[in-house]
């Protein structure tokens, strides 16, 4: 009798484990399988007490859901691989000189929450002064503040007087940004330094930029030799490298150097696209923020020269985005948030569709592709067993109208609900 009793208990335990994990379950009226691009009807996502997905199965009487989203469409939590969470649009130009390091951390706490509530459950932050993004990441990981999963770079590496230096102060201040590193061996040492103080990823400036003073986006800055040293050192220490590169030559040099992703990619040419395909390098085009810079940049305190640079660059970047996509280059979703207000990240989806992608392509760029780029394919980017229970939900069909993603109504990160407008 005792054997029969314990056998029954074990069978019951196995049945309960299979049907509803201790963490809970979400019933989705429709669920987007981002790998196949198919919308699946009436699915239940179960997750355990650690916030990991146990199963994704059709709804049945044996599977009891704790969260009812039966009138909604569910997707994996979105990923933005190019953010600046500790900065706001008004922090560029001379206004930025008056913002302290502690204030940047406070700004980061605010923006981390906005980003998560917008449906972005994972971000890669590429560039923050004085390791302020490390502080925000650590606060999120400790459960002290609300925000997405974060991979962070700390200070971006660049040349003296380049896009990643601060060129706003006169000579007598003798000021140099903490990421400045000239020459291959100095750059190697800087890689080691930022990793020592918490960097998950290395950000470099290969070319000039838009929002910096005194340089041009198309002008090369870091040399091929310097970038090769950075990539080799970072990879040896288990870190990937993201290169800010607008210029045609800088993009090619970054790819040849072994950089993992080229950010902005504005002036990429056919040879650069072919090179990216050959090396498997991800291209990250931030094609929404041109709208904000041209419409709101002056009000936000951006330098007049920055706005003029953007006028010459924005359309070319979008045209090259379309060329790169049509050619089959690997592309991930990155927006440069902080140039525009945080929380508006999803506005880029519509631009990606306008310039050549189908909605599913844009969504895949922000889920499975982005997860692959950051090296977290086994953790995020899809609703599959073993991944984190990072899930967002919207009204309607994002495959028909991708703008729906600008109005996320439900956000769960690791089984913890951060937003549920459906319950109102």
Sheet of 416-420: strand order equals: 53-58, 38-47, 24-33, 67-76, 391-394, 410-413, 416-420
Cα-to-chain-centroid distance, residue 178: 23
User: φ and ψ at 260, to 5 degrees?
Assistant: -80, -35
What pLDDT score was predicted for residue 4? 35
Confidence of residue 61 (pLDDT cuts 50, 70, 90): confident
Q: Which domains occur in the chain, in start order?
A: 2-76+383-423 (2.30.40.10), 78-345 (3.20.20.140)
What pLDDT score was predicted for residue 93? 85
190-214 burial, b at 16+ Cβ within 10 Å, e below that, comes to: bbebbbeeebbbbbbbbbbbbbbbe
Closest to 240 in 3D by CA, of 231, 227, 248: 231
Reduced to 3 states, what is the DSSP secondary structure of residue 334? coil
Cα-to-chain-centroid distance, residue 24: 27
Cα-to-chain-centroid distance, residue 397: 23
Q: How far apart are CA 379 and CA 371, in angstroms?
A: 8
User: φ and ψ at 7, to 5 degrees?
Assistant: -60, -40
Q: How far apart are CA 196 and CA 258, in angstroms?
A: 22
Task: Give the lowest-confidence range in 5-14, 31-40, 154-163, 295-304.
Answer: 5-14
Mean pLDDT of 300-308: 92
Regarding beta strands 149-152 and 120-125, do their DSSP bridges make them parallel or antiparallel, or are they unpaired?
parallel
Q: How far apart are CA 141 and CA 120, in angstroms?
A: 16
Mean pLDDT of 386-404: 98
Q: Is the pLDDT of residue 5 over 60?
A: no
Check: CB of residue 259 under 8 Å from CB of residue 243: yes
What pLDDT score was predicted for residue 409? 98
Show the tokens assigned to 223: 């040399």
Question: What is the per-residue pLDDT across 342-359, written as a single tens digit (0 to 9) for each?
Answer: 999 999 999 999 999 999
Reduced to 3 states, what is the DSSP secondary structure of residue 127? coil
Q: What is the largest distance, in Å, between two alpha-carbon atoms of the chain?
A: 89
Mean pLDDT of 411-418: 98
Task: Give the lowest-confidence range in 80-89, 90-99, 220-229, 373-382.
Answer: 90-99
Closest to 75 in 3D by CA, of 19, 28, 41: 28
Q: Is the pLDDT of residue 279 over 80?
A: yes
What pLDDT score was predicted for residue 13? 33
Task: Give the lowest-confidence range in 65-69, 150-154, 177-181.
Answer: 65-69
Neighbours of 98 (CB within 10 A): 8
Question: What is the per-residue pLDDT across 202-260, written as a single tens digit (0 to 9) for each?
Answer: 999 999 999 999 999 999 999 999 999 999 999 999 999 999 999 999 999 999 999 99
Share of the chain above pLDDT 70, in %: 95
Show the tokens assigned to 318: 């979008």
Q: How far apart are CA 296 and CA 294, in angstroms?
A: 6
Check: CB of residue 204 under 8 Å from CB of residue 220: no
Reduced to 3 states, what is the DSSP secondary structure of residue 301? coil
What pLDDT score was predicted for residue 22? 56
Mean pLDDT of 137-154: 98
């Amino acid at each position: 009798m005792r054997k029969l009793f314990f056998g029954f208990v074990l069978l019951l335990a196995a049945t309960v484990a299979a049907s509803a994990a201790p963490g809970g379950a979400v019933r989705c009226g429709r669920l987007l399988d981002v790998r196949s691009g198919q919308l699946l009807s009436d699915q239940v996502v179960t997750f355990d007490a650690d916030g990991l997905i146990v199963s994704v199965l059709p709804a049945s009487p044996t599977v009891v859901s704790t969260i009812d989203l039966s009138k909604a469409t569910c997707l994996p939590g979105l990923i933005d691989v190019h953010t600046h969470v500790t900065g706001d649009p008004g922090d560029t130009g001379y206004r930025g000189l008056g913002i302290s390091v502690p204030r940047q951390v406070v700004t980061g706490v605010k923006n981390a929450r906005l980003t998560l509530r917008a449906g972005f459950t994972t971000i890669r932050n590429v560039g923050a002064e004085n390791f302020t993004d490390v502080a925000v990441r650590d606060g999120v990981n400790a459960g002290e503040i609300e925000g997405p999963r974060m991979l962070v770079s700390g200070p971006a590496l660049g040349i003296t007087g380049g896009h990643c230096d601060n060129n706003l102060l006169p000579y007598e201040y003798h000021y140099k940004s903490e990421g400045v590193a000239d020459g291959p061996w100095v750059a190697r040492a800087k890689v080691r330094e930022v990793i020592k103080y918490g960097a998950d990823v290395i950000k470099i400036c290969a070319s000039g930029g838009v929002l910096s003073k005194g340089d041009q986006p198309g002008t090369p800055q870091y040399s091929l030799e310097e970038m090769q040293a950075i990539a080799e050192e970072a990879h040896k220490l288990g870190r990937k490298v993201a290169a800010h590169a607008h210029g045609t030559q800088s993009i090619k040099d970054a790819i040849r150097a072994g950089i993992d992703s080229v950010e902005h990619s504005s002036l990429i040419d056919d040879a650069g696209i072919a090179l990216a395909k050959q090396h498997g390098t991800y291209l990250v085009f931030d094609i929404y923020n041109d709208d904000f810079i041209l419409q709101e940049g002056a009000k936000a305190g951006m330098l007049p020269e920055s706005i003029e640079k953007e006028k010459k660059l924005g359309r070319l970047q979008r045209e090259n985005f379309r060329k790169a996509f049509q050619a089959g280059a690997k592309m991930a979703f990155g927006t440069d948030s902080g140039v525009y207000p945080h929380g508006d990240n999803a506005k880029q989806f519509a631009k990606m569709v306008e310039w050549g992608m189908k909605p599913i392509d844009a969504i895949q760029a922000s889920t499975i592709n982005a997860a692959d780029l950051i090296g977290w394919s086994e953790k995020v980017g899809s609703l599959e067993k073993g991944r984190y229970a990072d899930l967002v939900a919207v009204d309607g069909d994002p495959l028909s109208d991708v703008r729906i993603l600008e109005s996320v109504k439900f956000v769960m990160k690791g089984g913890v609900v951060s937003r549920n407008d459906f319950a109102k």
